[in-house]
Amino acid sequence: MGIVVVEVCDANIITEIDIEQIIESEFPEVVVMITTCLSFCGMCARSPYAIVNGKKIFAKTIDECLEKIRAHIKAELALYTD
């Protein structure tokens, strides 16, 4: 299990990309969990999003959301370095 957990609803638009492979290959310390429902149906229907260590990350586009997810992962990992 990774020290950073990214949760993704399998019905969300962000699953149009292989987010699990993209994130886990870039960040070995991260685990991506794709689940059936995260109970954010309103947000899920409107925009790409994921939950990174309990924080909702969302954007207007998949690419923008992916960049925000990466940035949040880097911030979380920074807590474990130094």
Kindly report, residue by residue over 66-77, the tens digit of the pLDDT.
999 999 999 999
Higher model confidence: residue 43 or residue 75? 75
- Residue 69 sits in which domain range? 4-78
Tell me what pLDDT residue 2 has: 62
- The span from the CA of 82 to the CA of 80, in Å, is 7
Higher model confidence: residue 52 or residue 42? 52
Tell me what pLDDT residue 61 has: 96
The total number of residues written for the chain in this structure: 82
Task: Decide: residue 74, CB within 10 A, 0-12 exposed, 13-18 middle, 19+ buried.
Answer: exposed
Q: How confident is the model at residue 82 (pLDDT cuts 50, 70, 90)?
A: low
* Residue 4 pLDDT > 60: yes
